[in-house]
């Protein structure tokens, strides 16, 4: 089966997400779809899977025009999307999840014996060995993903869409997935592989389509003609992806935070590091490595179960977020901007002043809008928040400007240590470069920064030192010499070494 | 012991046994046949009320109108028998059907308007209670068929005849949620609605069906309450809301939806019945019963949450 998207366009209020984007997917191939965050990948995927209808352009299946009214139409015609663990029902068994819409029944009741036998058939097809009666919530992320693929096969999917399938997999799990992808391809499936990891794409895809700012900059280019450089250029329009490189600098500032042998209930063991003022310490790891959980413990959201912290040279215990902020001057910029970063319905001044209300309080503790505006203005100017007025609700700002508002909040609170978690997720390339520049400047002004990111280029561009976290431990740490290739080798080496060790121990 | 502690309802069973032993030792009247009959009879209505809410939690919704709906069905059924002289069985059938219809209204409004089911049922609760008062002018229907009232008070040894209904319902519901496709679909929607939808499960249909089922269960509870009291009181249902949530949640249901336990709910209702019975036996000042019941239910939910965290369920 061949799926063709011909010059599809899609606009949302205020943004043109896709402009004449095209894609041509054939059976028996692995086709990569690449692009930066915000390039339009997810919009294109949603058009293919029937979630969105394009404003213009055509969608063809085997040369026939098709129109999907809902995702179910797409599934019925053999197009299935595999997302990460999102499409399963946690408390249902593996068998029931695979066969949900088509449970075998006998005299009106579900026939579990037959369901288990049937599900087993699909599990064998993909080589997953689990008991079909296991509740899905007890499986690993990798297993859940395999179950989703089995489910797609039960729909007789001819077109399989894998959306960032390796984001939370270990190296070996990813290899197992790729082997499966090759088998499905050999059986004639058309596989659309959505990823922004260059190595993976280069390794397993036959052709590639690249999106940039809603337009397709490469359409179905054979991978044989591709190089890293060409792919990066197609994605970001420049041969060099790293926009701002902070010049390497020896950290000379006073130590702000020292962790020794820290352990948490989440599973961290023996975490030790120091962050100095004026330094950006990078904490790199795959999704699920335990980086965000460590940040939560450092700002007092979760408790430490072992080890000690010292702040400004004195032993310290952080019992609450309030204490972290007010006594120790530590702030945390969450990766989840919409839920933990900003209050979308409230104006900019409200969001920025939130951390300093007690300082702004007047007679009997009342705040004034004017007071909040006065406190916000310098930071809005410093960070160039683009808005007609500080009364604008944050929900009406672009992702980049929202991120600037959450940054401004911590600047207003005058923290000495800012933990920044995935600062550029969902932010367009230009703003991204600006936010990188800004983070660099904050460090130059003497702020200690702990930067959490799963984007290695971001790490290499910003961090002075890089710690590698894997399975809730810090497995390696080294100075950043600003060479992407070298750092990438070191970081991946550290992670792979420790994944192998874990297996060897088992 | 470890495996037993892992069962969602293990704590409740321990509570029932310990409470039962303590009561038997401190109040000899507890083990009298009549007291046990009273205890079992008090469980009948509560259990159906708890199931009416449990079904909604299963699909990931709530029904704040269980009490008002059951109360309305109670006076409709009583009114048909008393004022219109309709025979027992047809009157009950019409009453229960009215409950199902009221549930359908709840479900249809939730799905159709997109308004949160919490608000929809809060509003319909007021509406149902209003119809109740409009029909009765707050005066109960007393003149009910003798066989109907006899069924409500009859017993075989310590077992009330009334108990047949909730036991039957328990078996049917257990089968429905474990094996029937519509039941599994409801739990699928409660567990992950977008995923269920992408698998071809109709989310609106599951939600409406759950509301209808909830309405039917609350209606049966209303009818049983009338039989038990021997009169159709307009106040029936006014105190059901707490137990309707408390029992399924003590029993291990998740407010987030998709996870329910029928055994757990059953045991939780027994535990709550035991607490109420104990307060009568040890002669707690009636004015403080309400307070103690609230506090004890909170303690039971708290304990179960603690247990769930300990065994890593949460």
Smallest CA–CA distance from B178 into chain A, residue: A110
The answer on pLDDT for A396 being more than 50 is yes
- Contact of B179 with chain A, judged by CB distance below 8 Å, is answered with yes
Contacts B180 to A, Cβ<8 Å: 108-110
The Cα A349–Cα A408 span in angstroms is 10
CB contact under 8 A, A101 and B199: yes
Picking from A75, A91, A109, the nearest residue to B179 by CB comes out as: A109
Q: Name the DSSP letter for residue A220.
A: E
**B contacts of A108 (beta carbons < 8 Å):** 180-181
What pLDDT score was predicted for residue B120? 96
**How many residues appear in chain A?**
506
- Tell me the CA end-to-end span of chain B in Å, nearest whole number: 20
- CA B259/CA B46 separation, integer angstroms: 20
Contact (CB<8Å) B195/A88: yes
C-beta neighbour count of A229 within 10 angstroms:
11
pLDDT, mean over chain A: 85
pLDDT at A506: 34
Average pLDDT over residues A242-248: 66
Q: Which residues of A touch B196 (CB under 8 A)?
A: 89, 100
Alpha helices in A187-290 (DSSP H): 198-204, 228-236
Q: Residue A361's beta-bridge partner residues?
A: none
pLDDT reading at A38 higher than 70: no
Q: How far is residue A406 from each of residues A329, A439, A452, measured CA to CA in Å?
A: 16, 13, 16
How large is the average pLDDT for residues A398-413? 86
Which residues in chain A have their CB less than 8 angstroms from residue B184's CB? 92, 96, 103, 110
Write down the H helix ranges in A129-209. 141-154, 171-186, 198-204
How far apart are the CA of B164 and the nearest CA of chain A, in angstroms? 24
B171 and chain A in contact, CB less than 8 A? no
Of A144-158, A292-306, A454-468, B167-181, the range with the highest mean pLDDT is B167-181
CB distance A72–B258 less than 8 Å? Answer: no
SS3 state at A282: strand
Instruction: Give the pLDDT score at B59.
Output: 96
* Cα torsion angle, B244, B248, B254, B257, sign: negative
Q: Do the Cβ atoms of A274 and A258 come closer than 8 Å? A: yes
CA dist., res. B224 & res. B165, Å (int): 9
pLDDT digits (tens, 9 = 90+) for A121-170: 999 888 888 999 999 988 888 888 889 889 888 888 889 999 888 877 77
Asked if the model's pLDDT at residue A282 lies above 50, the reply is yes
Exposure on the CB side of residue B141, measured as CA atoms within 13 A: 29
Instruction: Name the residue of chain A whose CA is nearest to B185's CA.
Output: A100
Task: Provide mean pLDDT across the span A21-33.
Answer: 93
Contacting residues of B for A90, CB less than 8 Å apart: 191-192, 258
- Contact of A210 with A231, CB cutoff 8 Å: yes
Using CA atoms, how far apart are residues A115 and A302, in angstroms rounded to an integer? 42
Task: List the single residue in A100, A108, A109 with the smallest CB-CB distance to B188.
Answer: A100
CB < 8 Å from A in window 230-259 of B: 258-259
Contact A91 B258 (CB under 8 A): yes
Q: What is the mean pLDDT of residues A299-306?
A: 90
- pLDDT band at residue A205 under the 50/70/90 scheme: very high
Residue A429's pLDDT band, with cuts at 50, 70 and 90, is low
Cβ-based contacts of B200 with chain A (< 8 Å): 72, 75, 100-102
pLDDT tens track for A328-337: 999 999 887 7
Contact between A474 and A495 (Cβ < 8 Å): no
Mutation target to probe the B interface, by most B beta carbons within 10 A, among A50, A80, A89 is A89
- Interchain CB distance below 8 Å, A87 and B198: yes
Q: Is the pLDDT of residue A14 over 60?
A: no
Residue owning tokens 């997109």: B114
H or E stretch at A159: strand A159-163
Cβ–Cβ gap B199/A71 under 8 Å: no
Structure-derived torsion over alpha carbons of residues B129, B130, B132, B134, reported in degrees to the nearest 10? 170
Residue A67 pLDDT: 87
Beta strands in A13-101 (DSSP E): 15-25, 29-34, 56-61, 64-65, 79-82
For residue A71, the chain B residues in CB contact (below 8 A) are: 197-198
Q: Which of B181, B191, B198 sits opposite A71 (nearest CB)?
A: B198
Closest-CA distance, A126 to chain B, in angstroms, reads 20
Least Cα separation, residue B146 to chain A (angstroms): 39
* Closest residue, chain B, to A138 (C-alpha): B313
The whole-angstrom distance between B262's CA and the closest CA on chain A is 15
Residue of B nearest to A103 (CA): B181
Q: Is B137 on the interface with A (CB under 8 A)?
A: no
In chain B, what residues touch A86 (CB-CB under 8 Å)? 192, 194-195
Q: What pLDDT score was predicted for residue A426?
A: 67
pLDDT confidence of A493, banded at 50, 70, 90? confident
> What separation, in Å, do the N-terminal and C-terminal C-alpha atoms of chain A show?
43
CA angle A323, A459, A241 (to 5 degrees): 140
CA atoms of B60 and A373, how far apart (whole Å)? 42
What are the structural domains, with CATH classification, of chain A? Answer: 3-236 (3.40.50.300), 249-329+415-506 (3.40.50.300), 341-414 (no CATH)
pLDDT beyond 60 at A242: no
- Cβ <8 Å between A71 and B197: yes
In sequence order, what DSSP letters do the residues of B74-124 get, joined into one string? Answer: HHHHHHHHHTS---HHHHHHHHHHHHHHHHHHHHHHHHHH---HHHHHHHH
Contact A105 B258 (CB under 8 A): no
Query: Nearest CA to A91 among B305, B53, B184?
Result: B184
CB contact under 8 A, B258 and A88: no
In chain B, the residue whose alpha carbon lies closest to the alpha carbon of A109 is B180
DSSP secondary structure code for residue A251 in this structure: -
CB pairs under 8 A between A and B: 60
Contact A109 B175 (CB under 8 A): yes
* Residue entry with tokens 């209930």: A265
Predicted pLDDT of residue A237:
63
pLDDT of residue A465 exceeding 60, the answer is yes
Strand-pair partners of A448: A417
Give per-residue pLDDT as tens, B146-200. Answer: 999 999 999 998 999 999 999 999 999 999 999 999 999 999 999 999 888 888 7
Distance (Å, rounded) from C-alpha B313 to C-alpha B311? 6
Partner-chain contact A92 B200, CB within 8 Å = no
Which residues in chain B (181-210) have CB-CB distances under 8 A to chain A? Answer: 181, 184, 187-188, 191-192, 194-201
Please tell me the distance in Å from A95's CA to the nearest CA on chain B.
13
Q: Chain A partners of B199 at a C-beta cutoff of 8 Å?
A: 87, 100-101, 151
Contact between A348 and A392 (Cβ < 8 Å): yes
In 3D, which of A179, A242, A222, A197 has the Cα closest to residue A459?
A242
Q: Which of B181, B192, B200 sits opposite A89 (nearest CB)?
A: B192
pLDDT of residue B1: 47
Look at the alpha carbons of A235, A238, A240, A244 in this order and tell me if their dihedral is positive or negative. negative
ipTM metric: 0.83
Residue ranges, chain B, pLDDT below 70 = 1-7, 311-314
What is the structure's pLDDT at A287? 66
For chain B, how long is the longest CA-to-CA vector?
A: 59
| Nearest-Cα residue of chain B relative to residue A86 | B195
Say if residue A316's pLDDT is above 50.
Answer: yes
Q: What is the SS3 assignment for B213?
A: helix
Tokens for B148?
Answer: 């109907």
DSSP secondary-structure letter at B232?
Answer: B
Asked whether the beta carbons of residue B181 and residue A72 sit closer than 8 angstroms, the reply is no
Taking Cα atoms as reference points, which of A340, A339, A338, A343 lies closest to residue A353?
A: A343
With beta carbons less than 8 A apart as the criterion, state whether A378 and A385 touch: no
Give the single-character DSSP code of A246.
P
* Selected residue of A50, A71, A109 to mutate for chain B interface (largest B Cβ count, 10 A): A109
């Amino acid at each position: 089966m061949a799926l063709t998207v011909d010059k599809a366009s899609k606009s949302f209020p205020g943004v043109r997400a896709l402009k004449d984007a095209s894609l041509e997917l054939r059976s028996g191939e692995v086709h990569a779809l690449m692009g930066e965050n915000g390039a339009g990948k997810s919009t294109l995927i949603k058009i293919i899977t029937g979630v969105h209808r394009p404003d213009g352009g055509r969608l063809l299946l085997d040369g026939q025009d098709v129109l999907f009214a809902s995702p179910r139409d797409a599934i019925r015609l053999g197009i299935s999307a595999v997302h990460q663990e999102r499409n399963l029902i946690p408390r249902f068994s593996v068998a029931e999840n695979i066969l949900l819409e088509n449970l075998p029944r006998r005299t009106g009741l579900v026939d579990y014996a037959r369901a288990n036998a049937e599900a087993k058939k699909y599990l064998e097809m993909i080589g997953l060995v689990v008991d079909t009666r296991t509740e899905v919530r007890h499986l690993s992320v990798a297993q859940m993903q395999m179950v989703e693929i089995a489910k797609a096969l039960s729909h007789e999917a001819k077109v399989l869409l894998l959306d960032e399938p390796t984001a939370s997999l270990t190296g070996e799990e990813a290899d197992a997935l790729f082997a499966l992808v090759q088998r499905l391809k050999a059986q004639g499936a058309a596989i659309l592989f959505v990823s922004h990891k260059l190595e993976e794409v280069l390794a397993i895809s036959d052709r590639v389509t690249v999106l940039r700012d809603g337009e397709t900059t490469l359409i179905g280019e054979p991978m044989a003609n591709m190089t890293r450089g060409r792919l990066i250029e197609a994605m970001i329009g420049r041969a060099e992806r790293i926009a701002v490189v902070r010049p390497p600098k020896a950290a000379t500032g006073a130590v702000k935070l020292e962790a020794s042998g820290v352990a948490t209930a989440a599973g961290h063991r023996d975490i030790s590091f120091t962050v100095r003022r004026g330094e950006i310490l990078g904490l790199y790891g795959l999704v699920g490595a335990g980086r965000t959980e460590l940040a939560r413990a450092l700002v007092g959201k979760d408790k430490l179960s072992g080890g000690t912290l010292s702040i400004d040279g004195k032993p310290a215990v952080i019992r609450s977020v309030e204490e972290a902020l007010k006594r120790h001057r530590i702030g945390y910029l969450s990766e989840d901007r919409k839920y933990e970063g900003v209050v979308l319905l409230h104006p900019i001044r409200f969001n920025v002043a939130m951390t300093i209300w007690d300082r702004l309080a007047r007679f009997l503790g009342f705040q004034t809008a004017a007071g909040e505006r006065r406190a916000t203005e310098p930071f809005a100017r410093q960070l160039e928040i683009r808005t007609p007025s500080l009364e604008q609700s944050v929900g009406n700002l672009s992702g980049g400007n929202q991120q600037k508002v959450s940054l401004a909040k911590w600047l207003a609170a005058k923290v000495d240590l800012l933990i920044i978690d995935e600062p550029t997720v969902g932010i367009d390339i230009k703003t991204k470069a600006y936010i990188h520049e800004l983070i660099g400047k904050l460090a130059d002004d003497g702020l200690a920064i702990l930067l959490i990111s799963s984007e290695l280029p971001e790490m290499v561009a910003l961090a002075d030192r890089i710690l590698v976290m894997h399975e809730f431990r810090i497995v390696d740490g080294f100075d950043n010499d600003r060479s992407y290739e070298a750092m990438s080798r070191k970081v991946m080496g550290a992670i792979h070494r420790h994944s192998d060790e874990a297996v060897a121990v088992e | 012991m470890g495996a037993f502690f892992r069962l969602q309802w293990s704590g409740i069973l321990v509570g029932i046994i310990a409470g039962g032993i303590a009561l038997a030792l401190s109040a000899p009247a507890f083990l009298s046949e009549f007291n046990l009959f009273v205890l079992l009879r008090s469980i009948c209505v509560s259990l159906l009320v708890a199931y009416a809410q449990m079904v909604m939690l299963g699909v990931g919704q709530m029904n704040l109108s269980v009490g008002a709906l059951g109360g309305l069905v109670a006076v409709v059924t009583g009114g048909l028998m008393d004022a219109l002289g309709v025979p027992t069985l047809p009157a009950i059938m019409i009453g229960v059907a009215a409950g199902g219809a009221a549930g359908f209204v709840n479900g249809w409004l939730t799905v159709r308007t997109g308004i949160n089911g919490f608000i929809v049922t809060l509003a319909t609760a007021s509406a149902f209670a209003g119809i109740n008062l409009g029909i009765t002018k707050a005066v109960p229907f007393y003149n009910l068929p003798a066989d109907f009232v006899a069924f409500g008070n009859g017993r075989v040894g310590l077992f009330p005849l009334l108990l047949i209904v909730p036991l039957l319902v328990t078996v049917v519901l257990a089968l429905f949620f474990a094996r029937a496709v519509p039941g599994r679909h409801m739990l699928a929607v409660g567990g992950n609605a977008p995923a269920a939808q992408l698998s071809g499960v109709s989310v609106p249909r599951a939600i409406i069906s759950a509301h209808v089922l909830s309405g039917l269960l609350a209606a049966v509870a209303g009818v049983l309450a009338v039989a038990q009291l021997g009169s159709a009181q307009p106040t029936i249902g006014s105190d059901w809301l707490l137990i309707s949530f408390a029992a399924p949640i003590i029993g291990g249901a998740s407010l987030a939806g998709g996870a329910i336990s029928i055994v757990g709910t059953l045991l939780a209702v027994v535990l709550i019945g035991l607490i109420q019975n104990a307060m009568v036996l040890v002669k707690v000042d009636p004015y403080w019963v309400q307070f103690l019941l609230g506090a004890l239910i909170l303690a039971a939910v708290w304990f179960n949450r603690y247990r769930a965290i300990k065994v890593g369920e949460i």
